[in-house]
Amino acid sequence: MPEHDPLTDERPSRSGADDRREAWRMGLSVSIATALYGISFGALSVAAGFTTVQSLVMSLLLFTGGSQYAIVGVVTTGGFTPASAVSAVASSSLLAMRHSLYGLQLAPILDLPGLRRLAAAQFTIDETAAVALAQPTRAAKRLGFWVTAVGVYLGWAAMTLVGALIGEQIPDPRVWGLDAAAAAAFLGLLWPRLRGREPIAIAIAAAVVALVLTPTTPAGIPVLVAAAVGLAIASIGEARRVNPRRRPRDRQTDRGMTR
């Protein structure tokens, strides 16, 4: 029987080969599905006023769908104004904060030095984390991460370019509903994450705040305030989980035991 190689964390057996094939299969399928979203982003970005080059550079450098859709949504609503710029940067940064949590999980798995770690940080997104963490062995996790990273990065950029070129051929985006499609696309990314009462409550509270403020405040402000409300509610919920409030009966029991 082949022995386990502790240096590579691979077992040269049929099961090890199956793990690698599954990592390739999952990584490529996720890459293709994610890349297709790039077409809509490219078209929406051009419709919002970005050039084709700007849209492509955004996908190459920012490389996170949720944040990119948020930027396009804010600019579509408020145009290229200082308030919109601040709101776009703030909202995209808040959305990208979850990637730091993925990094904490993936760092010991990838175990990369120096510049390679910086490259991996650029590729640490929802899709790469999901594929990597779904694999059974460390070697398969690494393979799944890199297959997905390269596939999504190249596919997302290529389809952004295709979408932007298509968007340039549409004289009036409102005729095709592209002026409202950014919000719809972002909602499509958000919806699968609304699992459980707390995420749903946070989403409803943030939506209500944004709807109330939109008619009376400059573009971008409702997004920032809604995000702050969502973070506040999430922080309160987390504090209660860490330090649950004891019931009066529990406190009476504690006093009785100390007498």
Q: State mean pLDDT over 190-217.
A: 81
H-type alpha helices, the chain: 14-48, 52-61, 65-78, 82-96, 98-110, 114-122, 126-133, 138-168, 178-190, 197-213, 221-242, 248-258
81 token code pair: 């104004």
Q: Nearest to residue 66, comparing CAs of 31, 37, 95, 34?
A: 95
Contact 24, 143 (CB under 8 A): yes
Which residues, 6 or more positions from 17, have their beta carbon under 8 angstroms from its beta carbon? none
Lowest mean pLDDT among 24-33, 125-134, 190-199, 229-238: 190-199
- pLDDT score at 6: 43
- pLDDT score at 201: 86
For the ranges 11-25, 49-63, 168-182, the one whose mean pLDDT is highest: 49-63
Contacts of 79-86 with C-beta under 8 Å, sequence gap 24+, read 79/49, 79/219, 80/49, 81/218, 81/219, 81/220, 83/218, 83/219, 83/220, 83/221, 84/219, 84/220, 85/220, 86/220, 86/224
Lowest mean pLDDT among 41-45, 137-141, 236-240: 236-240
Kindly report the pTM of this predicted structure. Answer: 0.67
Q: Domain ranges for the chain, please list them.
A: 14-193, 196-244
- pLDDT score at 2: 44
- pLDDT score at 4: 47
Q: State mean pLDDT over 31-43.
A: 88
Q: Write out pLDDT tens, residues 238-248.
A: 777 767 665 55
- pLDDT score at 11: 43
Lowest mean pLDDT among 22-36, 49-63, 81-95, 143-157: 81-95
Whether residue 10 is predicted with pLDDT greater than 80 in this model: the reply is no
For residue 169, report the phi and psi dihedrals to the nearest 5 degrees.
-90, -5
